Amino acid sequence: MPHHPRIALALLALGAVFLAVFPLWGDTFYIRFIARIMIFALFAMSLDLLVGYAGLVSLGHAAFFGLAVYVVAGLVNKAGVTSAFVLLPAALGAAAIAAAAIGWISIRTTGVYFIMITLALAQMVYYFFHDQKEWGGTDGMNIDSKPTVMLGDLKLFDFYDRVQFYYLALGCLVAAFVLLTVILRSPFGHTLVGIRANEGRMRALGYDVQRYKLIAFVIAGTLAGLAGFLEAARATFATPAHLGWHESGHVLMIVILGGMGTLFGPILGAFVMLLMEDYFATLTERWLLIMGVFVILVVMLLPDGIAGVLRRVGRLGRRGAGDG
């Protein structure tokens, strides 16, 4: 049951229209760049289900994202499979199974334990790929081909066409938004939020708390896998950095910057964060220094993120209208 402030809804509608028509006149560089931002928005949104709604602060979310990238890379390079009809289910399936396994171990704990354990287990996946020399080790490897979508001899979709890919990423983002909204408005979503608010009470009411947490963890992991599949198709490159904890921290930062517990927050966060990174990277080679300062400022001054600012602006607006 995401509760969206009216100003955010207006912004969201405006943003959706903008994104839908952008390729009509947009510069090719930005068409590609926004496709990348939308992939990260999807990735961050999947994490928000855990952090913002279920109260599970995972610091290992990149494991599912990166695993999907490596599954695509492995199938394309080692098995010569390029059909998206195989690659997509394989990537999602691998992410879901990994999420079920990691989730099963980590949901037994809460709080700071949960943070440390998701981090450590994700690093295990990281080192697994990091140690495989024939998979490129630390350097990673190029993926030989983008996925293909063929029906007989008919090409249904071209991953090499940047406008088609742009709309695919947008479609996935919108679909995930709708799916998560439906999930959160269902009894399942209400139970999840209830668990975050008071786990003991939910347990006393007879809810199988662990099962709800695990299901949320698997849904989030699978959606991260979808983002990973898109990233593999976009970048045609797989590296251990896709799985590492820096990436997990990065996506967590996107969620907080946008505002956790709101599905639109991670989208805003992804746009602001990635546009800023891109801008600072043009200024200096040491742009991560600026991002570090930025991260600290956001944590100290904007704990509710951009969504929190919008909510405050919205409240001010309403109060002003009421007075008049």
Partner 1 sequence: MSLSYFLIQTLNGVQYGFLLFLVASGLTLVFGIMGVINLAHGAFYMVGAYLAWWFAEQTGSFVLALLLSLPVTVLLGLATERFAIRYLYARDHLYQVLFTYGLILILNELQRLLFGNDVHGLPIPAPLAGSIPLTEAQSYPIYRIFLSFTCIAVAAALYLLIQRTRLGMVIRAGSTHREMVSALGFDIARLFMVVFGLGVALAAFAGMIAAPVNTVYPGMGDHILIISFVVVVIGGIGSIKGAFVGAMVVGIADTFGRVLLPTGAGVVVYAVMALVLLWRPQGLFGRTV
Residues found near partner 1 in the complex (CB under 8 A) = 51, 57, 59, 105, 108-113, 115-117, 119-121, 123-124, 127-128, 130-133, 245-246, 249, 252-253, 256, 286, 288-289, 291-296, 298-300, 303
- Helix, strand, coil percentages (3-state) for the chain, rounded to 5, are 80, 5, 20
In the complex with partner 1, the residue whose CB is nearer, 23 or 136, is 136
Give yes or no for a contact between 208 and 72, defined as CB atoms under 8 angstroms apart. no
The least CB distance from residue 225 to partner 1, in Å, is 21
The least CB distance from residue 152 to partner 1, in Å, is 42
Q: What is the DSSP letter of 242?
A: G
- What are the tokens at 243? 């799985």
In the complex with partner 1, the residue whose CB is nearer, 123 or 239, is 123
In the complex with partner 1, the residue whose CB is nearer, 7 or 116, is 116
Q: Cβ contacts of residue 270 below 8 Å, gap of 6+?
A: 37, 38, 40, 41, 43, 44, 254, 258
Element (H, E) at 126: helix 111-130
The least CB distance from residue 84 to partner 1, in Å, is 30
The least CB distance from residue 265 to partner 1, in Å, is 14
In the complex with partner 1, the residue whose CB is nearer, 51 or 263, is 51
In the complex with partner 1, the residue whose CB is nearer, 92 or 209, is 209
In the complex with partner 1, the residue whose CB is nearer, 150 or 289, is 289
SS3 (DSSP) at 280: helix
* Phi-psi group of 26: left, alpha or beta (phi > 0 → left; psi -120 to 50 → alpha; rest → beta): beta
In the complex with partner 1, the residue whose CB is nearer, 39 or 117, is 117
The least CB distance from residue 63 to partner 1, in Å, is 11
**Whole-angstrom distance between the N-terminal and C-terminal Cα of the chain?**
32
* Phi-psi group of 80: left, alpha or beta (phi > 0 → left; psi -120 to 50 → alpha; rest → beta): left
The least CB distance from residue 130 to partner 1, in Å, is 6
Angle subtended at Cα 108 by Cα 119 and Cα 196, rounded to the nearest 5 degrees: 90
The least CB distance from residue 297 to partner 1, in Å, is 8
Give yes or no for a contact between 1 and 189, defined as CB atoms under 8 angstroms apart. yes
